[in-house]
Amino acid sequence: MAVAKAESVAVVGLDGYPVEVEVAIAQGLPAFNVVGLPDASIQESRERVRAAVASSAEEWPLQRITVNLSPAHLRKAGPGFDLAIALGVLAARGRVAQERLRELCLLGELSLDGSVRRVRGVLASAIAAARAGKRAILLPRANANEASLVGGIEVLPVEHLAQAVRFLRGECELDPPPASGPEEVPDDDDLADVRGQDLAKTALEIAAAGGHNLLLQGPPGGGKTMLARRLPGILPPLTHAEALEVTQIYSVAGLLPEDAGLITRRPFRAPHQSVSLAGLVGGGGLTPHPGEASLAHRGVLFMDEAAEFRRDGIQALRGPLEEGSIAIVRGRWSVTYPCRFQLVAATNPCPCGYAGDMVRQCKCLPGRLAAYSERLSGPVVDRIDLQINMDRLTKREIFSAEPGEPTASVRERVVQARQRQAERLHAFGIATNAEIPPPHLEEACRFSADAKREIVASVDSNGLSARGVHRVMRVARTVADLAGEDSVRERDVAKALMYRLDGKRQ
């Protein structure tokens, strides 16, 4: 009996775990079995591996072949083990040197003609391989750039199984992966394109500066979507660590474009209202996948017509909004995905969209109206510090030739306000005003006596609720940070009071 070992990586959640692929070839009736908690997709590997080996001018042994994936308790899925199994079989037959194989981590799906196809989660796998002390990682050429983002491990890109065999025999060298730096993509969604809506643009700037969630309410055609799309642009650029996190999520979700390097732009995700629960927060039946909330990690999750989303979907966002991560538990597996996103929700004021409109009459029945506003209320709206109404544009605003302030200069102010917050909030272990928990508000915000009086006065005159007060305090703090003030002034509170939609009724 001949035995060989190859190494690969299984990705669970966002983390890679080393997997040993053992191949034993024994005398007996020809058979090919995979054991060690493989799922249905790995059972399919057998057919691909057999065809790919034959296509690479190698002989398939007509013997009893057993493949064991260990550790056996770890659930393994996907086609990424194809390359490791094929090379393991060839090593067991002595076609490639076992010692050479053991130095490498192997990743890749095989096509029937032997070519090596790109797989998901390469970034996470490469990180795990580097941590496990592997010298190099052998993987599909299409994934080479992604793996190069990880330092400390050599990347060996291959296009065909036969090429991998020749390389392992020392018969050829592999081309290094094409170098790719983070490319500067010009931002085509500039804030200067938004005409009018000064109040809403200021709200966007405050939201960006303090990390606040934002609710845009208004009739169709007010430019809610246009405005929301411009939020990622005015946020501070991703740090390298953040960019790696984001890239890792996209890598696991299989959404990284081919040859793409690091994702350097903050994500903007705008799922449709019909998105399923698993699509929104992540999940899946046999294999977990990150949802829109995680794909928006370190970026913006935009929910247009937010009241039309399924109720359980809206509810399910509560955890992510508080924790910045989501744990998905199914019978057979459980994973945790990060999802520290900024929420921008847009709603019509009522189902027909015209309540509060100055020109058109709303035709909704009172009962439906109440049910509509009910949908968003509660857990999610509580987490939204800034609420603003956007009117339909007047003709003058639509044709106004004057462009607004460009994204770049707004971003500069946002970056400065963030720095100011980071310094002040360092002691509390948080970075933005939006995260200040109510017990620390007084201490962390530094209100002037005038500002405090202003808040008390607004409690009396508009029946601001306790939650409303907390929201106003956080927003006022950000307004002061944008103005470069150490303590919150009266006018900062007055400005914060503009950005709420609860009239006297709440």
Partner 1 sequence: MRFKNKDGGLFAVDIDARVVERDDDEYPEMLTHLADAPERLWVAGGDLRTLPPCVAVVGTRTPTHYGEEIARQIAADLAGSNVCVVSGLARGIDAWAHTGALEMGKTVAVLPGGIDRCYPSSNREIYERAAESGALVAEVPPGTATHKRRFTHRNRIIAALSVAVVVVQAAERSGALSTARHGLDIGREVFAVPGDVRVEVSAGVHELLREGAAVCTSAGDILARVQPELARVASGRSFAPIPDDMSSDQAAVLAAIGGEAVSLSAIVSGAGLSIDDMAVAVSRLETSGWIARGPGSLVRRVR
The binding site for partner 1 (CB under 8 A) comprises: 196-200, 202, 217, 349, 355-356, 358, 361, 365-367, 369, 388-391, 394, 397, 454, 457-458, 460-462, 490-491, 493-495, 497-498, 501, 503-505
CB of 223 to partner 1, least distance (A): 11
The smaller minimum CB distance to partner 1, of residues 274 and 361, is found at 361
CB of 71 to partner 1, least distance (A): 58
The smaller minimum CB distance to partner 1, of residues 164 and 388, is found at 388
The smaller minimum CB distance to partner 1, of residues 122 and 215, is found at 215
CB of 402 to partner 1, least distance (A): 13
C-alpha span between 333 and 211 (Å, rounded): 33
CB of 392 to partner 1, least distance (A): 10
Indicate the SS3 state at residue 132.
coil
Indicate the SS3 state at residue 344.
strand
Neighbours of 469 (CB within 10 A): 16
C-alpha span between 451 and 432 (Å, rounded): 20
Which pairs with CB-CB distance under 8 Å and at least 24 residues apart come from 369-374? 372/307, 373/307
CB of 256 to partner 1, least distance (A): 41
CB of 461 to partner 1, least distance (A): 4
- The phi and psi torsions of 194 (rounded to 5 degrees) equal -80, 115
CA angle 244, 128, 256 (to 5 degrees): 40
C-alpha span between 144 and 127 (Å, rounded): 13
C-alpha span between 167 and 236 (Å, rounded): 44
The letter for the amino acid at 18 is P
The smaller minimum CB distance to partner 1, of residues 121 and 353, is found at 353
3-state secondary structure string across 145-202 = HHHHCCCCCEEEEECEHHHHHHHHCCCCCCCCCCCCCCCCCCCCCCHHHCCCCHHHHH
C-alpha span between 316 and 454 (Å, rounded): 36
The smaller minimum CB distance to partner 1, of residues 196 and 271, is found at 196
* Closest residue by Cα to residue 231 from 291, 275, 187, 292: 187
C-alpha span between 66 and 341 (Å, rounded): 45
CB of 405 to partner 1, least distance (A): 13
The smaller minimum CB distance to partner 1, of residues 7 and 490, is found at 490
DSSP string, 267-320: PEE---TT--HHHHH-B-SSS-B--HHHHTTTSEEEETTGGGS-HHHHHHTHHH
Residue 423: both structure tokens together: 């310094």
CB of 469 to partner 1, least distance (A): 14
The smaller minimum CB distance to partner 1, of residues 171 and 460, is found at 460
Gyration radius of the chain over CA positions: 28
C-alpha span between 44 and 33 (Å, rounded): 11
The smaller minimum CB distance to partner 1, of residues 73 and 505, is found at 505
Cβ atoms 279, 248 nearer than 8 A: no
Alpha helical stretches, state H, 79-149: 82-92, 98-102, 122-131, 144-148
Residue 21: both structure tokens together: 């692929």
The smaller minimum CB distance to partner 1, of residues 199 and 422, is found at 199
CA angle 461, 462, 467 (to 5 degrees): 125
CB of 391 to partner 1, least distance (A): 5
CB of 435 to partner 1, least distance (A): 24
Cβ atoms 86, 49 nearer than 8 A: yes
Indicate the SS3 state at residue 360.
coil
CB of 480 to partner 1, least distance (A): 12
* Closest residue by Cα to residue 445 from 475, 467, 413: 475
CB of 174 to partner 1, least distance (A): 60
The smaller minimum CB distance to partner 1, of residues 136 and 369, is found at 369
Cβ atoms 472, 496 nearer than 8 A: yes
CB of 381 to partner 1, least distance (A): 14
The smaller minimum CB distance to partner 1, of residues 316 and 482, is found at 482
The smaller minimum CB distance to partner 1, of residues 63 and 202, is found at 202
The smaller minimum CB distance to partner 1, of residues 241 and 449, is found at 449
